[in-house]
Amino acid sequence: MSFQVLGLDDRILKAIRDAGYTEPTPIQSAAVPQIIAGHDVIGIAQTGTGKTAAFTLPVLTKLCAKAPDASRRRTRVLIVAPTRELVVQIEENVCAYAKHLPALRIAKVFGGVGERPQMDALRAGADIVIATPGRLLDLMGRGCADFSALEVLILDEADRMLDMGFVPDIRRIVKALPKQRQTLLFSATLSNEIEGLTREFLHTPKKVEIGRRSNPAETVTQMIYEVRKEDKVSLLAHLLRDSSMDMVLVFTRTKHGADKVAKRLARDGVTSAALHANRSQNQRLKALADFKSGKVRVLVATDIASRGIDVDGISHVVNFDFPPHVEDYVHRIGRTGRANAVGDAISFVSRDDYGALRSLEKFIGRGIVRKSADGFVPDPAGPDDERPVRPQQRQQRGQGQQTSGGQQQRGQGSRGGQSQRPTNRSAGPPPRPQQSASSVTPARPQEEEPQGWRRPTQGRRQRRR
């Protein structure tokens, strides 16, 4: 099948040829005619299969069929996406396919940058607005946006917006839009929650689903390395000695973990950058641009920041921290093996990850190949973030320090007057003491510390002399 049979405008077909594309992907072949016909559409397909073009191409064709009112230009298409990076990616696609369309105005709206240019762009009138939910709601509350003439609403990466807690914001946005509109929802997965949203926002939609739900890409070779937590960074550095790992995306659970891995790789001479929510917008865009251009070999990212990473040629994806949910695993490894290309997905698995690994293998219906790293020797010094033990502490560890009255000082030595053996440093770090269920602090999801949070200082600050 060729793009010519999909009913696209000739100027858009010319832009497609300029971009070097000759045949549509399955999701494009199935979704484009339904969207041009005016139906609400649910599009489900794996990452890297061309979902963005599947809604961009027909929506641009619909805009071509009706000239905008030059006297009062109002927004006709609203695209909502979960992250800044995805907004930028969508804008790049829209601009590429609309290059031969006259006077089409596009505005992008997201946080992390100044509001004034975005407010001016909305007030001046934009045919297409591409936005993240939070900043869009903010500017709508200030009266900057006019959606009274909106024709099409597109919710992209709906599964991730659900995971990130954006559904209440989406409901507030949709409530302010005209009821007579076309609504398109695209997602990599179709969970029960997503199906609930489609019943809430879409009217008798046509479902376009390519492949099995949440099925990892068949073009990605998946492998597992079983490794202790404290040896992960050393193993990653060892694997990167392989020159075939020339464009590597590494996923960590936390922002601190991303920074730590990037710094360690830089010390080993591997060009790397970190991408997470605590980086400024300019830092995030620069990291992504350097990764795309090849200036940076390894990009270390958290799940939240990684949405919208649309980079061709990623050779390897490394799950430095194994994802707890199947959907996150599918999304991560889908960053490689895009558009029928081949790629490798490497996952580090520690003892705490065995439950999640079993769930994943049960879902995909097969075991993932276990690999061993030839020539890898774990670092005998222990984990990279282990705090150095002072000589006095090393001497006292396990036996306690006696006071002049023969009593042990609080917090040192063993309890109940019983002594313990001194810890052998060569055997690795000592086991952590057991805690009662009431004393365990639950881990924060995704990012470990909210912005603006500061660890309380102990004691009173000393006045500077």
Cβ-contact 1, 23 below 8 angstroms: yes
Burial 200-234 (b: 16+ CB within 10 A, else e): ebbeebbbbebeeebebbeebebebbebeebbbbb
Q: How far is CA 291 from the centre of its chain?
A: 15
DSSP 408: B
**162 and 288 fall within a common domain:** no
Residue 104: predicted pLDDT: 86
| Cross-strand bridge partners of residue 248 | 298, 316
Closest listed residue to residue 94, CA positions, set 19, 37, 160: 19
CATH of the domain at 32: 3.40.50.300
Query: Taking 90 as the threshold, does the pLDDT of residue 303 lie above it?
Result: no
Residue 448: predicted pLDDT: 38
Query: Taking 50 as the threshold, does the pLDDT of residue 408 lie above it?
Result: no
**110 and 227 fall within a common domain:** no
CA dist 411 and 398 (Å) reads 11
**163 and 253 fall within a common domain:** no
Query: Taking 50 as the threshold, does the pLDDT of residue 451 lie above it?
Result: no
Within a domain: 381: no
Which stretch of 4-8, 30-34, 101-105 has the lowest confidence by average pLDDT?
Answer: 101-105
**204 and 225 fall within a common domain:** no
Query: Taking 70 as the threshold, does the pLDDT of residue 432 lie above it?
Result: no
Residue 137: predicted pLDDT: 94
Q: What is the DSSP string of 310-358?
A: --TT--EEEESS--SSHHHHHHHHTTSSGGG--EEEEEEE-GGGHHHHH
Residue 399: predicted pLDDT: 47
**184 and 246 fall within a common domain:** no
User: What is the span of the domain harbouring residue 119?
Assistant: 3-209
Q: What average pLDDT score do residues 221-248 get?
A: 93
Long-range contacts of 199-202 (CB under 8 A, 24+ apart): 200/171, 201/153, 201/155, 201/170, 201/174, 202/40, 202/42
**And the tokens for 298?**
């390894």
Q: What is the pLDDT of residues 308-355, one digit of tens each?
A: 566 778 899 999 999 988 878 887 887 786 655 678 999 999 999 999
Domain closes at, from 209, 229, 264: 209
Q: What is the pLDDT of residues 36-87, one digit of tens each?
A: 999 999 998 876 778 899 999 999 999 988 766 655 678 999 999 998 888 9
Q: pTM for the full model?
A: 0.61
What are the C-alpha distances in Å from 453 to residues 254, 338, 440, 450, 456? Answer: 15, 38, 20, 6, 9
Domain closes at, from 350, 371, 392: 371
Residue 434: predicted pLDDT: 46
Band (pLDDT 50/70/90 cuts) for residue 381 is: low
Report the percentage of the chain scoring pLDDT > 90.
Answer: 48
* Cα-Cα end-to-end distance for the chain: 78
Query: Taking 70 as the threshold, does the pLDDT of residue 382 lie above it?
Result: no
**284 and 356 fall within a common domain:** yes
**138 and 266 fall within a common domain:** no
